[in-house]
Amino acid sequence: MVRTVLILLGAPGAGKGTQATRLAESLRLPHVSTGDLFRTNLSQGTELGQKARTFMDAGNLVSDSLVIDMLFDRVGQPDCAGGYLLDGFPRTVAQAEALQQRFDGGEDRVVIDIQVPDELIVERIIGRQSCPKCSAIFHTRFNPPTSEGICDHCQTALTQRADDTAEVVGTRLAAYHEQTAPVAEYYRQQGGVCAVNGNQHPDKVFEACQVCVTEAAA
């Protein structure tokens, strides 16, 4: 059986989480977000969450070994046996190589790079509101919830992520350009990346991502 492994690349605030939710639903693949996994660990008070916190709050990447162990543990679970969608992993070339080594040849890998200019990122990040319970993503201006401050899906009070500040976003963008941009280059050399313009309505971004998936399967 061919397993689809869909990898979403993109800067902080590019719209990975927004698109991953929709793609996971339409492709019936589990949505695996390393950022969400760390935040869940943090809210549960685990040792892993504590270790990751300092890096995340400062806008730096968590060390490869911690991320890779956590990710492999997650994608080793039964619901990922038929494929999965990765949001926020791999973020370094070392992570991409580790993932590649784990593959056994039965994977159909699709890599989508959601591209958004840096100057648009700050407003997206500062205005984001996230649901601490179901991880749904909103934006005060671009995607407001039906009732202010409340999650449309589970009625939980929305919160702002600790790393969604004007100060931290600069560090996150720098980490992206230094450590994650080379991952797109790695995949370009390994067979291809489908570039999608992330600076358009989320519905249009979604359509473009679907085209990438269809073309990869053809």
Using CB under 5 A, pick the residue from 10, 13, 15, 17 that binds Mg ion. Answer: 17
Taking alpha carbons only, the member of 119, 170, 160, 120 closest to residue 138 is 160
* Catalytic one of 74, 109, 124, 128: 128
In total, the chain counts a number of residues equal to: 218
Q: Are strands 128-130 and 137-139 parallel, antiparallel or unpaired?
A: antiparallel
- Toward Mg ion, which CB reaches closer, 20 or 99? 20
Q: Quick check: 137 binds ligand AP5 (CB under 6 A)?
A: yes
Burial class (CB in 10 A: 0-12, 13-18, 19+), 210: middle
Active site residue 124: no
Residue 135 CB, nearest distance to Zn ion (Å)?
A: 7
14 binds ligand AP5 (CB under 6 A): yes
Q: Which residue is nearest to Mg ion (CB)?
A: 17
Residue 71, SS3? Answer: helix
Cα–Cα distance for residue pair 218/102, rounded to 1 Å: 25
Query: Taking the CB of residue 45, how many other CB atoms lie within 10 A of it?
Result: 8
| Interface pick for ligand AP5 out of 83, 89, 112, 212 (rule CB under 6 A) | 89
Interface with ligand AP5 (CB under 6 A): 10, 12-18, 34-35, 38, 55-56, 59-62, 67, 88-89, 91, 95, 124, 127-128, 137-139, 142-143, 163, 172, 198, 202, 205
> Active-site positions?
16, 91, 128, 161, 172
